[in-house]
Structure 1
Amino acid sequence: MKKINNILKHPLLKASLIYTICDAINKAVPFFILPILSHYLLPSDYGLVANFGVLAGILNLLVLLTMDGAISVNYHRISKFELPVYIFNSFLISLGSFIFLFIVFFIINKSINELLEIPFKYQILCLIMALFNMISSINLIIWRLEERSLNFGIYGIGNTLVNIVFFFNISSYSE
């Protein structure tokens, strides 16, 4: 019995349980919200939300530029004094990508609107959302590397809830 208690009190098991439970909640929330969304969304709203999701996914990749992966790889390679500088430089690179894409969107917004039927204000909103997702991703990767599983889990669930509310609201204000 003492051996079982030692296993249950092991920090690795606790962290694993927190990550697993929070991940399950993150995956379950959209599933349980689906009936509510299907009640309130019109078929045209589904298209807008789906196209917005596609654009958001592409922009998340282009803004983040896998900086979270680079931070993860170099977290243990560089000193704790160099780490903040490395994270800040990663942020600046992603910010540069955001600014570049912002300029590109001003130039080709009509083409994006014709292709995806996403109005310009939502294109910019999607780009801004990608910037905030980049900040969240860096935050989450640092917490995971610091083994702060509870912060990671709570923040991840909160982020999921904010994204659901956000997607629900864009359909309410569609043109």
Structure 2
Amino acid sequence: MSFALINKIRTNTLFRNGTLFAFFSFLNSGIGFLLLLVLASFIPPSEYGELNLFNTFVTLLAIFISLNATGIIAVDFFSAEKTQLRRMLSTVLCLSSASFLVFSLLLLSFSSFFERIIGLSAEYQWLGLLVCYMQVFSTVNLDIWRLEENPLSYGIYSVSTVLANFILTLILVIGFHWGWLGRVYAQVAVSMLFFFVSIYFLIRRGYLQRLIPNKETVKSALAFGIPLIPHSASAWIRQGLDRYVINYFYMAAQVGIYSFAYNFANIIQIIGLAFNATNSVYIYKNLANIEADTSSRLLKQTKVMTLFFAIVTLCVYVGTSIFIPVFVPKYKDAVPYLFPLCMGAFFQCVYYLFVNYLFYYKKTKKLMYITFSMSLFHVLLSVLLTRYSVMYTAYVTMIVNMMITLGVFLYSRRIYKLI
């Protein structure tokens, strides 16, 4: 009986693919984590703060370049005809290209203004814009492999990207002594390489064809993506804007300390995203073919994953609290921030378990109301409290993430009563 159970698990497609996706995600995270430690050894907190300001700028800009329309490819993948799906993909890429041109004009006209606001010179604003646009193609390519349940291709591509970033960053930061700029130029070079690789694979697999977007696909993509811009911006507000607020009241070195703690806590969120890569496909497939036991299966999986995320959170918090003072003592001041930031990451993982129901039923406008309103509340608290202590900023992150997760959970019950 035990052998039969083991054989059933071994041959289960969901289990096999989920394990492979998780393995590659953890491998990517491990390489990224190692890079974090290496950079901490060669880059002082002040430069680490500068690097995080650049990455925060890229994260915000990426929201507007993609218009958050890439997600509709996943939602339509199991229901749309092949030709319609290809046309939608072309629409998404055309919209991103148009957005890229608009922001290029804005940088040409207002780069000096942006420099005063975000603290990055025009050169790095352009590099950030270029990285954002090229990464749209990689995102679409990886999403399709994920939806095809092709973890091997997904893993080889994603690990190759991370390894290329890792190796080139080491060469530029350590070999050429370029400091934080070495990491920036490595991102640009690798993004450019895999931009062309993604185009090649999308054409080869028949997804990227000369299909002109029509009114229906443009309208559908924008209707899905536009409401998600405030939603995604709200995530940036909660994670990225805090760094600028800290930089305003303190110094770049304090940004570096806080960001260092945040990056360790982000390990939890990375694990959540890794499981969500498979879990979202599992949910979409089940909701597309509802059976008598669908609800019970989804509920069981949700409970197991919530417990798993709680255990991961505890392990990361305890482990990093010991690790940082011993191995990277110059960042020991980051330890007090770990508890609230780890808890905030835990609530974000639980959020992933329920938000897919809103995506499937295309309730992105309702999602926007929840996340954006809470993020404005986050901004208010952050601006009011950060001046007194950065610790308040960390706890604001935890509390707001908890409130957003609760709001998404309650609304998901209205459209599909899982619990």
Pairwise CA distance, 1:44: 3.7
- Identity score, percent: 24
Displacement after TM superposition at 1:82 (Å): 2.0
Cα RMSD (Å)? 2.2
Aligned partner letter, 2:54:
F
In structure 1, how many angstroms separate the alpha carbons of the residues matched to 2:183 and 2:89? Answer: 36
Change (3 A) 1:31 1:41: same
Cα 1:162–1:54, aligned 2, differ >3 Å: closer, same or farther? farther
Of 9-18 and 43-52, more deviation after overlay is shown by 43-52
CA distance in 2: counterparts of 1:52 and 1:148, whole angstroms: 33
What letter corresponds to residue 51 of structure 1 in structure 2? L
- Choose the corresponding residue for 2:76, options 66, 71, 74: 74
Q: Which residue of 1 aligns with 2:123?
A: 121
Conserved 8 A contact 1:67-1:138: no
Distance 1:59 1:92 in 2: 17
Query: Deviation of residue 87 (structure 1)?
Result: 0.5
How far 1:28 moved relative to its partner? 1.9
Matched AA of 1:86 = M
Distance (whole Å) between structure 1 residues aligned to residue 5 and residue 108 of structure 2: 63
Q: What is the correspondence of 1:20-31 to structure 2 with a 5 Å cutoff? A: 20-31=22-33
Q: The residue matched to 2:70 in structure 1 has which SS?
A: helix
- Distance in 2 (CA, whole Å) between partners of 1:47 and 1:61 is 22
Q: Does 1:171 align with 2:181?
A: yes
**Which residue pairs with 1:32 in the alignment?**
34
TM-score (normalizing by structure 2): 0.39
TM-score, normalising length: structure 1: 0.88
1:173 offset after TM fit, Å? Answer: 8.7
**Matches of 1:161 and 1:87 in 2, distance apart?**
28
- Residue equivalent to 1:59: 61
Count of matched residue positions in the alignment of Structure 1 and Structure 2 = 174
Identify which range, 60-69 or 37-46, moves more after superposition: 37-46
Q: Shift in Å at residue 16 of structure 1?
A: 0.7
Q: Deviations over 1:56-98 (max 9, x none)?
A: 0011111111222111112223211222121011100111011
The gaps in structure 2 that reach 5 residues or longer are 185-419
Higher relative contact order (CA 8 A, sep 6+): 1
- 1:46 Cα deviation after fit: 1.5
Aligned counterpart, 1:7: 9
AA of the residue aligned to 1:57: T
CA–CA distance in structure 1, aligned partners of residues 5 and 35 of structure 2: 41
Secondary structure of 1:118 counterpart: coil
Structure number, greater radius of gyration: 2
How far apart are the structure 2 equivalents of 1:90 and 1:25? 29
Cα distance in 1 for residues equivalent to 2:89 and 2:25: 25
Aligned equivalents of 1:105 and 1:161: distance in 2?
31
Q: Kindly tell me: are residues 33 and 52 of structure 1, through their superposed partners in 2, closer, same or farther at Cα, counting changes over 3 Å?
A: same
Q: How does 1:104-143 map to 2 (within 5 A)?
A: 104-143=106-145
What letter is aligned with 1:5?
A: N
Match of 2:49 in 1: 47
